[in-house]
Amino acid sequence: MRYVVGVDLGGTKTAAGVVGEDGSVLLTDQIPTLNRDGGEAILDATTALIASLIERAAAMGAAVEAVGIGSAGVINAAEGTVISATDAILGWSGTAITAGLTARLGLRCAVVNDVHAHALGEAWHGAGEGAATALMVAFGTGVGGSFVIQGQPVLGAHFVGGHVGHFASPLAVYRGAPLPCSCGHEGHVEAIASGPAIHAAYLRHGGSAALSDTREVFDAARAGDDLALAVIATAATAAGQAVGGLINILDPAVVVVSGGLADAGELWWDAMEKALRTELLAPLASVAVVRASLGNTAAIVGAASLVLAS
């Protein structure tokens, strides 16, 4: 069997695994991302992680032939470089990922944005397996997505395809003014439907500052806190409206919903799906909407598919 390494390079941690051509994950490991140390330091640390996995795989009789990477940031998949990145990873913009890792490892490498990698994993061997087209939308720290057609993600002319958190939401307002978004603009889906947006809304509407994060807002909602229930319902409704609109535009065979909010239980999911179904055009009423199934290995498996398919 052919084996490659798939890498999920995020703002706080970098996970990697040895993946077989059948999508099976032989072994995994992870390290903290050196997100304050610049691109070259990150590539050095990632090289060490990959080299360790290659050595361990060799001891098991598996020879690694290539490396696929799903990386945070806007990624030029053709050139293997980071077009832009947030301050979550300082000095990441401009980094030549594939050239840098190929020079260090001597192996063929390919890279794509990490959300696209996540979607590729789910489309290949996850909740979207077998579907000709799959729309994946993730709701967590941010809101992102990818549309996969016959195993290929739609990257866009400028490699910005999939930024589904950054179009207008009618619910992203407070006292008549649009809410600021992480991208620097206002009134976007991410400003109302992300995890941090739920916590921010709870505080903005007078909730207790003793609740320090989104998880605690959900705990309060389950305990009967009316304000917590209301802000979660609004965020879930905004999420459902956004996904429903995307379904109307793209007409996918299946929709895969991922991220921390999708995993938070029926409190969020039911309100999200109700709002989604309300948006749909009649021929789309029965479209399948499912939870992601691969968990933390999705982006690793998806990144591996980049080099297994070539």
What secondary structure does DSSP assign to 266-305, as a single string? HHHHHHHHHHHHHH--GGGTT-EEEE--SGGGHHHHHHHH
Tell me what the mean pLDDT of segment 234-258 comes to: 98
Do 138 and 117 share a domain, yes or no? no
Tell me what the mean pLDDT of segment 50-78 comes to: 97
**Chain-wide mean pLDDT for the chain?**
97
Do 276 and 301 share a domain, yes or no? no
Q: Percentage of the chain surpassing pLDDT 70? A: 100
Query: Helix H segments across 159-297?
Result: 190-193, 195-204, 214-222, 226-250, 266-279
What's the pTM? 0.93
Token pair 């999939």: residue: 162
Do 15 and 157 share a domain, yes or no? no
Do 103 and 163 share a domain, yes or no? no
- Distance CA(294)–CA(134), nearest Å, equals 15
Do 148 and 285 share a domain, yes or no? yes
Q: What is the pLDDT of residue 178?
A: 98
Do 268 and 210 share a domain, yes or no? yes
pLDDT tier at 217, thresholds 50, 70, 90 = very high
Question: Edge to edge, what strands does the sheet with 133-139 contain?
Answer: 152-153, 143-149, 133-139, 254-258, 288-291
Tell me what the mean pLDDT of segment 151-165 comes to: 96
Six-digit token pair at 226? 């009316």
Do 140 and 242 share a domain, yes or no? yes
CA 46 to each of CA 40, 42, 49: distance values in angstroms, whole numbers, following the listed order: 10, 6, 5
Do 39 and 54 share a domain, yes or no? yes
pLDDT tier at 10, thresholds 50, 70, 90 = very high
Q: What is the pLDDT of residue 88?
A: 87
Q: What is the pLDDT of residue 309?
A: 82
Do 300 and 288 share a domain, yes or no? no
What range does the domain containing 112 cover? 3-122+296-308
Tell me what the mean pLDDT of segment 48-60 comes to: 98
CB atoms near residue 239 (< 10 Å): 31
Q: What is the pLDDT of residue 86?
A: 87
Q: What is the pLDDT of residue 281?
A: 98
- CATH number (domain holding residue 163): 3.30.420.40
Token pair 């300082």: residue: 90
pLDDT of 131 over the 80 cut = yes
Do 58 and 145 share a domain, yes or no? no
pLDDT of 106 over the 80 cut = yes
pLDDT tens digit string along 67-104? 999 999 999 999 999 999 988 899 999 999 999 999 99
pLDDT tens digit string along 267-306? 999 999 999 999 999 999 999 999 999 998 999 999 999 9
Do 38 and 137 share a domain, yes or no? no
pLDDT of 112 over the 80 cut = yes
Residue closest to 122 by CA, chosen among 307, 304, 292: 292
Do 76 and 139 share a domain, yes or no? no
Element (H, E) at 117: helix 114-125
